[in-house]
A and B are shown apart, each in its own frame.
Chain A
Amino acid sequence: MLNELVYDFAIWLDDSAWSTLLHESYYMYNWVESIHVLTLIVCLGMLFMIDLRMLGYALPNIPASNIAQRLNAPMLVGFTVMFITGILLFYAVPVRSSQSVWFRLKMALLVACAVNAYLFHKRMNESVASWDNNAKAPKRIRMGAALSLGFWSLVVICGRFIAYDWFDCEYTDPNSFSQFLSGCIAGQTRY
């Protein structure tokens, strides 16, 4: 039921002229994808510096709260542009993207990243005064930083895998496990 709703929504998007124009435009599509990757570098670059600071590997002599506060703004700018270009990339290829195992996994991981970021900041703000100048953050905060690094690395790996057609509905056996995960619709004619 949910898969059919997603499929119908993807078909509706795919039928719009702008989706086709974006997909068929060599330069526009590639520019959007390039900006997506470049802003990912900005966003993850800032995030990695924050997480590595918490783990004691980068800039250990600078107060942790200072690093987190100062790098938050450029990280959010990068994230916002990355998010907008990500929506545009989905809009350009809605049917295949919505039925990609890797895209679905990536979305689930992004939710995990958001929950982890919320808990990380909440825990940090509660206790940072007592360990701000320590080279390493307390264990709970370090755990959050390590999870952040792990989740975001998996997001990038899944994002990279979307480009490959290993589990596409078009090329896999009907009733296979990958078709179940991808949410393929029996008898669908558009991919």
Chain B
Amino acid sequence: MSNPASASTVTYSKTITVGVLLALLMIFSFTDLRHDTWLKLYEFFLWLETTPFGVIGKTWGAAFAIVEAFHLLAMALLGGAVIVSDARLLGWLFVDVPARDILDRTHKVFVIGLIVVLSTGVFMACGVAGKIYWLPVFWYKMLALATGIFFVFFIRRPLLRHPLDEIHPLVLRLIAVSSMLLWLTVAATGRWIGFAGS
């Protein structure tokens, strides 16, 4: 049997960690720190263009386009996993199948999709680093992506490891809706980078 006192301490420590991180994010966002960091990153983005990925991405259009297509296919894989697992949490799909099964199996597919999205995304970013640095929508996407990854691995997964019938149904629905909205934002801002850069 687990000790209730230690369980609540663990829960509070996670809540405090999230609170501290949010506070740090607010300080970062609303002070000069954000602008200073952005300026310092310019050299890094210029360096990205000189890496092998950057050189291939800039000089060989077909390679860039193929990687772009695989980025999109991986996004579809990730999206499929997100939709199936969140629809199960919302009670829209597979209500006759234990939610735990769906959540665990789709998480594996999600992780594979995310790895391909990140690796192809890094390649693409290297090829156009000097351009995307100046696009606000690129930074919105990075923010959405970082939030999405943080949300999945530090909020959604740890929470859903608890027995699902012990979690308030409203919390489960909020988790599912937040997850869908986050990944929709990642996909939409990602597509908009192409328009903003042209």
Contacts and interface: CB of A to CB of B under 8 A. Distances in A.
A93 interface: no
Interface residues of B, number: 35
B73 A156 contact: yes
A13 interface: no
A105 interface: no
A42 interface: yes
Nearest to B94: A70
Interface in A15-62: 26, 30, 33-34, 37-38, 40-42, 44-49, 52, 57-62
A58 B191 CA distance: 27
A45 B77 contact: yes
Interface residues of A, number: 35
Given A45-B79, A45-B80, A160-B65, A62 B187 contact: no
A146 interface: no
A191 interface: no
A180 interface: no
Contacts of B82: 45
Nearest to B105: A59
A37 B83 contact: no
Contacts of B106: 58-59
B73 A61 contact: no
Interface string A46-83: 11110010000111111000100011001000000000
A171 interface: no
Nearest to A50: B80
B79 to A, nearest CB: 4
B61 to A, nearest CB: 6
A153 interface: yes
A160 B68 contact: yes
A31 to B, nearest CB: 10
B76 interface: yes
Contacts of A60: 105
B81 A45 contact: yes
Contacts of A57: 109
A49 B187 contact: no
B192 interface: yes
A157 interface: yes
B191 A38 contact: yes
A48 B105 contact: no
Interface string B79-114: 111111001000001101100011001101100000
Given A70-B94, A164-B65, A40 B76 contact: yes
| Pairs A-B, 7 closest by C-beta atoms | A45-B80, A44-B76, A41-B79, A45-B79, A157-B69, A160-B69, A30-B195
Given A58-B108, A153-B73, A156-B72, 8 more contacts: A38-B191, A44-B76, A45-B76, A45-B81, A45-B83, A46-B80, A47-B80, A160-B68
Interface of A: 26, 30, 33-34, 37-38, 40-42, 44-49, 52, 57-62, 66, 70-71, 74, 153, 156-157, 159-161, 163-164, 166
18 contacts: A26-B195, A30-B195, A34-B191, A37-B191, A38-B184, A38-B188, A41-B80, A45-B76, A45-B80, A49-B84, A52-B109, A60-B105, A61-B105, A66-B94, A71-B93, A74-B87, A153-B69, A153-B73
